[in-house]
Amino acid sequence: MLRTTLLALSGLALMAPTALAQDWTVDHAASSVAFETTVSGGAVTGAFDTWAAAITLDPADLENARIEASVSTASGSTGNRQMDDSMLSNAGLNPTDFETARFVSDDIRATDTGYEAHGILTIRGSDQPLVMPFTLDITDGRAVADSHFVIARTDFGVGGSSWGSAAAEIAMVLHIEADAAD
């Protein structure tokens, strides 16, 4: 009797649908990695043009979700040469020695307002924990995610005493659109 019950249960388990993590192909033309801060009290905005992301995410299978993203630090631009020179200097992002900034999630959780990706952000070789909140809408195989979070540039050794007029916090503004991979 026990053997028959175990066989029946294992058969049901095989027939049950399993949640499979979904891979996504980012649409770079529709996506952006931008930032906002202040310098001398004035607003400064910019973006990174060269970046990549590998995203595996199914809201029904967050245990297997993963986000891995890298940004070319040399691709940052504010549209202001003086600010760009400062941002890309040795005291700034220093792309000569640190070509990429990187985020790797180790946990993705649902929240009341969307999701949170918990992971490690690496800038200038410095690893810091980061919680990246984001909203997500998936319709007809197209995902649209938006995130806004703040990082402290000094936690990563960005800027020195010469950056006294620059805000210590940088707001990151991400808009990612992606299509379900086959």
What CA–CA distance (Å, rounded) separates 93 from 157?
9
Is 146 part of any domain?
yes
Structure tokens at 20: 């499979």
d(CA 12, CA 112) in angstroms, rounded, equals 33
pLDDT at res. 162: 76
The answer to whether 100 and 73 have CB atoms below 8 angstroms apart is: yes
- Parts of the chain with a pLDDT under 50: 1-19
Tokens of 162: 């010469």
User: What pLDDT, on the 0 to 100 scale, is given for residue 178?
Assistant: 98
Please report the pLDDT score of residue 13 as a whole number.
40
Q: 121 in a domain, yes or no?
A: yes
The pTM for the full model equals 0.86
The H or E element spanning position 165 is none
**pLDDT confidence of residue 160:** 75
| Residue 2 belongs to some domain of the structure | no
| Count of domains observed in the chain | 1
12 falls within a domain: no
C-alpha angle with apex 62: 174 to 55, nearest 5 degrees? 40
In this prediction, residue 10 carries a pLDDT of 40
pLDDT of residue 164: 83
Quickly list H helices, 55-168. Answer: 81-87
